[in-house]
Copies of this chain bind each other. A is one copy, B any other.
Amino acid sequence: MTTSPRPTLTSIARSLGLSTATISNVYNHPERVSDGVRDRVLQAAEAAGYAGPDAVARRFRRGTSDTVGVVFTDEMSFALADPASVALLAGLSTRLQEARLNMLLLPAGPPLDDSRVSNVMSAVVDGFIFYSVPEGDPHLAAALRRRLPTVVVDEPRDSVDADWVGLDDGAAAADLGEHLAHLGHRNIGVITSRLGRSRYNGPADDRRWSEAVYSVQRNRIAGLQSGLADDGALFVEERFENSVEAGADALQALLVRHPEVTAVCCFGDVLAIGALEAARRSGLSVPGDVTITGFDDIPEAARVGLTTVQQPLAEKGRVAGELLLSHAHGAAPRKRFLPTSLEVRATSGPPR
C-alpha cells in the first residue's frame, strides 16, 4: 500500500526517536518495556505496515533456524505418492512438532544440474533427515560436509558415517521366503522398484545388480533367497517408479516371461496393490492362481487383505526425529533396527 521503502526495525525506531534495542524488546521481551512505549511502538508498527522483526535477519542474528531439512530421492511428488513414505513423514513431523521444529522438504532432485550446488548446501536448516537415498548420493555427501546433525532412514546404512534407522531387511525378507516355501512355492517372482540410478524397466539381470545402489533391495533379495528352500528360484522384475501402475505392469510382464511363477513378492505395498489389480483384470484368482505379497503394511493393505511385511512406519519417523534431536557431535554413529513382522492375510496360499 505505502510506496515508502519496506519498514524495518530501524526505521520504526528512528520514526519514534527510540533505539533499535527498545523496538526489539517490544517484540522479544515485552516485559522489559514500559506499557506506554510498547503501545506507541505497536501502533507505529501497525501504521507503517511493520509485521515484526524480519525472519531471516533474526535467524541470522540468532544463528539457528529451528528447521530440519528432509531429503528424498528425486521428485517429492513420487515420495508423496507412496503412503509408506507419507506415514514416515507423519511420524517424523509428530516428533519435530514436539520440539517446535519445522520441516523443510528438499527434493534431492535429478542428478545435480550445476556440478557443485545442491539444495542441501544452501538450505537454512539445523539438521537433515535423508530418506532412502542411493549409495554415494552427492546430496548426502554435501550434508555431511556441512557437519550438521544428519540421520539416514533406510538407506544407505553402512557406507555412511551418520545415525541411521531402518529395518533388518534381510531377516524380514527371509521370513517371507520361509512362509512361501512352507506353502510350497518354488518359483518366485519379485517386483522391485529401481535398483540403480538409471531409468530402467525390465528383468533385473546381472548387469542391473552390479550397478545396484539401493542396498535395501539387495538385502531383501538376499533374504528371500536364504528363506526359500535350496531349490527356490527368484525372477526379478524391476520398475523405475514405485507406483500402482508400475506394479500392475510388472506383474503382467513377469507372468508372461515366467509362467512357472506361482508367487510374487512386491517390495512395497503400492506395487502389490497394482499387481493385485493386474491379476484381477487378467482373471487370475489370488491366491489360487498366484500368491501376491507386499512390504510396508500401509493401511490399504489390511483393507484388501494383502499378505505383507509390516514395518512400523510412523515409528520409524519418530525415531529418526529422536536420533536427530539427541545427536551428539562427534559421537559414534548409532544404528537403530526396528522390528518387522509378517502379516499373513488373504493373498497368500499354496500353489495349485
Q: Which residues of A contact B (CB under 8 A)?
A: 1, 49, 51-52, 55-60, 63, 65-67, 75-77, 80-81, 83, 86-87, 89-91, 93-94, 97, 102-107, 109, 119, 121-125, 142, 145-147, 244, 273, 277, 299-300, 303-304, 314, 330
A77–B103 Cα distance when bound, in Å, is 12
Do B93 and A109 have beta carbons less than 8 Å apart?
no
Rank and list the top 9 A-B pairs by shortest CB-CB distance, nearest first. Answer: A60-B60, A77-B90, A80-B90, A76-B93, A51-B145, A51-B146, A103-B105, A55-B124, A56-B60
A67–B123 Cα distance when bound, in Å, is 9
Partner of A75, one of B94, B107, B142, B146: B94
* List of B residues within 8 angstroms of A90 by Cβ: 76-77, 80-81
Partner of A77, one of B55, B56, B91: B91
Excluding A59-B122, A93-B105, A124-B124, 7 further A-B contacts by CB distance (< 8 Å) are A51-B121, A55-B121, A56-B63, A76-B103, A77-B314, A80-B87, A97-B107
A276, closest chain B residue (CB): B303
How many copies of this chain sit in the oligomeric assembly? 2
Do B94 and A119 have beta carbons less than 8 Å apart?
no
* List of B residues within 8 angstroms of A299 by Cβ: 244
* List of B residues within 8 angstroms of A147 by Cβ: 49, 51
Partner of A56, one of B65, B80, B93: B65
A245–B105 Cα distance when bound, in Å, is 29
User: What are 13 contact pairs spanning A and B, CB under 8 A?
Assistant: A51-B121, A51-B142, A52-B146, A57-B60, A58-B122, A67-B104, A76-B93, A76-B97, A81-B90, A102-B104, A102-B105, A104-B104, A303-B304
Contacts A56-B56, A65-B56, A77-B91; A97 near B123 (Cβ below 8 A): no
